[in-house]
Amino acid sequence: MSEALVGPLRLLRTRTYVWAAGGIVLLAVPFYLDRFWLQAGLFAMAAAIGAIGINLLTGSTGQLSMGHAFFLAVGAYGYCVFASESGDGLTGLGLPTWLAAVLAVLVSGLAGGLFSPIAGRLRGAYLGIATLALIFIGQHVLFNARDLTGGFNGRDVPPLSLFGLTFDDSEVVVAAVPFGSAEKLWYAGLVLLLGCGLFARGVLRSRPGRAMNAIRDHRIAAGVIGVPVARYRAAVFVLSSMYAGLAGVLLALVFQRTVPDYFGITLSLEYLAMIVIGGLGSVSGAVVGAVFVSFLPQLLTRYSDALPLVSAPGTGGIAPGEASRYLYGAAVVAVVLFLPGGLVRMAAGRRVRTDQGEKR
């Protein structure tokens, strides 16, 4: 018996070490890397939060959503509206920025809730295409409600301030390293991502998570054994939109400006690509996929000179953005066909097997 226990215990211990090492590296990053990498990392964090959200919806509950970009937009613009002062023909409520961030997330959830009469009763492709409508409605509103969104030009994002600390470019020197907005936001992003990840993991591993999986695997059977299917589906939709809203707020803070073009259908497809590549239905899958999809264009842009076939935009070759789209498009196809379960499943074959054992 005791020998049988040694294996899992050792595995647990190595896991703890890996986590601790990873955590220390992530905490140390702002002291060593320049702004480019920090921003790339922040995009990846924001994307990871959004991807966790859509993975709860699409991966765990089996509801295809192509409208995730809409909720990101609601979060990003919601924050701008709540936090900015009015002026320049733009409406703003001038609330404290932390309150604005919380309200923006709540408004995203509300938007998801308003969609729930549809989300609760459509399935599969019908839901996917119905959520496509959200993208077009969103684009329409973003371009036309000028006093809220600033129309085509978008609007500036006021920096977040929390407990007297402002996440802007006023430099604070920590250990001889000047801390600008990217460095400060890095830590905020880490905390948010950790919180979101743990919460989602909690949801997935407890009663609601099992109910969600039951709905995905067999909706009617789930209903028969007492899962309130419609309510769960609406609730997951709301939760997922709140995650998207938070991702939107973080993205807006990193970009420092929101423009409507960004929140189009391409963004929605990117998020779907993330969860498929990383692994449907798991938190770590969403994070891995988000890092993969959002780092690719940045890496390719940075090293476009050194890479064959890739060249700077406008010079006739394949631009970095396009090259990365080829790569993740192909990755989606390849993962589904040859690697069901995504990158996470491949990276940790053994660990997943023990996890599955636990579940049974």
Partner 1 sequence: MSTFAELFLNGISMGSVYALIALGFVVIFRATEVVNFAHASLLLAGGYVTATLHDDLGFWPALLVGIAGAAIVGAAVEFLVMRRYRGSDHSVLAIVTIGVDILLTTELTRRIGTDVLTLGDPWGDSVLTIGPISLAHTRIAAFVAAALLITAFLLAFRYTSWGVAMRAAAESPETAALMGVRLGRVSLGAWAVAGGLAAVAALFLTVFPTPGLERATSLAALKAFPAAILGGLDSTTGALVGGLLVGVTESLATGYQSELTFLGRGLGDLAPYLVMTAILLIRPAGLFGTKELARV
Among 110, 118, 259, 346, contact with partner 1 (rule: CB under 8 A): 118
Among 110, 203, 336, 352, contact with partner 1 (rule: CB under 8 A): 336
CB 66 within 8 A of CB 135: yes
Among 39, 121, 166, 307, contact with partner 1 (rule: CB under 8 A): 121
Instruction: Spell out, one character per residue from 291 to 330, where the chain touches partner 1: x when CB under 8 A holds, - when not.
Output: ---------------------------xx--x--xx-xxx
User: Among 279, 277, 264, 283, which Cα is nearest to 327's?
Assistant: 277
Q: Which of residues 206-225 bind partner 1 (CB under 8 A)?
A: 218-221, 224
- The nearest distance, CB 318 to partner 1, in angstroms, is 7
Identify which range of 40-48, 78-86, 271-279, 352-360 contacts partner 1 by CB under 8 A: 271-279
Whole-number Å distance between alpha carbons of 95 and 114 = 24
CB burial class (10 A; 0-12, 13-18, 19+) of residue 224? exposed
Looking at residue 151, the DSSP 8-state letter turns out to be G
Closer of 47 and 130 to partner 1 (Cβ): 130
Residue 357 CB coordination number (10 Å) = 9
Angle at the Cα of 276 from the Cα atoms of 198 and 354, rounded to 5 degrees: 55
- The nearest distance, CB 106 to partner 1, in angstroms, is 23
- CA distance between the termini of the chain: 20
Asked if residue 152 binds partner 1 (CB under 8 A), the reply is no
Asked if residue 64 binds partner 1 (CB under 8 A), the reply is yes
Q: How far is CA 146 from CA 89, 91, 143, 316, in A?
A: 8, 9, 7, 36
Residues in contact with partner 1 by CB under 8 A are: 62, 64, 117-118, 121-126, 128-130, 132-133, 136-137, 140-141, 143-145, 218-221, 224, 265, 269, 272-273, 276, 318-319, 322, 325-326, 328-333, 336-337, 340
